[in-house]
Structure 1
Amino acid sequence: MQFTHYGGEAALLAVDLVNATVTGAPFTPESLAPLLAAHGTDRRPLTAGEAAEVAEWSQRLRPCFGPQDPAGRRDAVNRLLTEAASKPYITVHDGHAPHLHYADPALGLVAHIRAITAAALAHVICFAGQNRLGRCARARCGLAFVDTSRNGRRAYCSVRCANNDAVARHRSRAGAP
């Protein structure tokens, strides 16, 4: 499964932000810097206030992942798009072909994060399928993921969770301790 930059890297940023809330990772400028850099959003360090805004935004992203009715997921993403209030525009830079940007750099990094993550989730729903935004099926996990598999039937955040769940099911059927 191939995604555009917004449907791919920015969607994975949304996943990492959501998973940081699940794992209880602190939202500090220092903790967010490597996460943002890993997803190509490393324009400048965040302030403590901006990190708090990103933490709040990550909570808003959570309802977009996991099992729910199609209308509920669309409504959740539409609310994010409204809150992001971005104005897409076509740009050419760094020798790239014309492409869309979803936030004016003058609006700041938090506005950029809101715009690209909301747009990314909309891209995934519209161009890959809303079932591609999931939560790990392992009972003790609950991490979010974007299903990039070919058949779109991924149920776990990682191979490790899938294997652990399979072992637990086997042991419960076999009656092993």
Structure 2
Amino acid sequence: MHINPYGEGPVLLAEDLANDPPVDLRDLVRRCAAHDVLVESVGPEDYAGCRELIAAWLTVVDAEEVADRVQRLNALLAAHASHPRVTDHAGTGWHLHYRESGATLTGQLAVLILTGTALHLTTRGMNRLGRCASSDCDRVFADVSRNGRQRYCSPRCGSREAVRRHRAG
């Protein structure tokens, strides 16, 4: 069975790339592989393209109103995704792609991350992306928790904020 790649994984990849930007193209490719992204085509423009993609994705994360978040995400999907098609391009099993064959790494990541974000938000809740609520942190988080109430990027930030509240109270 081939697992749908347009789910939680791409959103966590985007979170990783936003919080710890790759230092170069080689690092980007390594990080994609660590997130189980099958990299098909890499060009010298992909490093800058990926950084632009993550900057655009962060506008979705930072949208304060749901309608604004949806509008930004829909605009990005319209610019990057194509009609769905069934493929077995890698011989790993039939699955859906929302991109043209032969896409650059940036194009591939755009469709994975944006479609993954759309699925993440529509199936888990439109509030499932955000910035850490800690007073000294602005890292991004994708809330994949069961209860959907994540406010901090990590348990460490949550604990530090709890200590601050305790000491202030």
**Which TM class, normalised by the smaller chain length?**
0.7 to 0.9
For 1:171 and 1:66, locate their aligned partners in 2 and report how far apart those are by CA, in whole Å.
Answer: 30
Residues 117-169 of structure 1, C-alpha deviations (whole Å, 9 max, x = no match): 11011111211111111211112211111111111011011111101111111
Specify every segment of 5 or more residues in structure 1 that has no aligned partner in the other structure, as ranges.
none
Of 124, 132, 141 in structure 1, the residue corresponding to residue 137 of structure 2 is 141
Deviating runs (4+, > 3 A) in structure 1?
44-48, 92-96
Residue aligning to 2:9: 9
Task: Report the Cα distance in structure 2 between the residues aligned to 1:126 and 1:132, rounded to whole angstroms.
Answer: 9
TM-score, L = length of structure 2: 0.86
Q: Map 1:42-57; keep pairs closer than 5 Å.
A: 42-43=38-39, 46-57=42-53
Q: Which has the higher helix share?
A: 1
Q: Secondary structure at the match of 2:146?
A: coil
Provide the aligned length of Structure 1 versus Structure 2. Answer: 166
Q: Indicate how the Cα distance of structure 1 residues 42 and 91 shifts in structure 2: closer, same or farther if over 3 A, else same.
A: closer
Report matched runs for 1:148-167 at 5 Å: 148-167=144-163
> Structure 1 27/55 Cα, relative in aligned 2: closer, same or farther at 3 Å?
farther
- Aligned residue in 1 for 2:28: 32
What is the rounded CA distance, in whole Å, between the counterparts of 1:86 and 1:105 in structure 2? 10
Q: CA RMSD in A?
A: 2.2
Question: 8 Å contact 1:29–1:45 — kept in the other structure?
Answer: no
% of aligned pairs identical? 34
Amino acid at match of 2:131: R
Consecutive unaligned residues in structure 2, runs of 5 or more: none
